[in-house]
Structure 1
Amino acid sequence: EYMCRVKDRNFTLNYYVDFTEKDFVDSLVKEVNDSSFKETVPSKFTQEIKDKILSQYPELSSRTLMNEIFDA
């Protein structure tokens, strides 16, 4: 209405399809998933992650960072 994006609630989109379009839903879900951003959550704390954090927070020492992460 006022050219503002609504961010405070989720929206759902419902499609009603009959048996002639049985592959439609699968192809739509695949298309949406393929084109959307997928964030990967690291499973290990690597040196690369540590370096990225320290580059964003140069005031932190390596020891302070490690204490903060592993005390949490």
Structure 2
Amino acid sequence: MADPSINDIDETVAPPLGGADSFDLNKRLDCEHLDQMTDNWTDYQRPSFATELLRFFGNVFVDIFNAIFN
């Protein structure tokens, strides 16, 4: 995924206090349809548990190797 160019960034400012764009804090949260109201974010670049385990023990091995031979 490429970084957006400076021209593509939408510069928004906070709405004025008490204006028509302010949030309605008295509106109740629809708990029955909460999944439809929120976005689910999945990290597709997340490594597997086995990869993290091998990285951990690899780092331990390298640290021990460096401590012995340095």
| TM-score computed with the length of structure 1 as normaliser | 0.25
- Going by fraction, where is helix more abundant, 1 or 2? 1
For CA contacts below 8 A with separation 6 or more, give which structure has more relative contact order.
1
Q: Considering only CA atoms, is the larger Rg found in Structure 1 or Structure 2?
A: 2
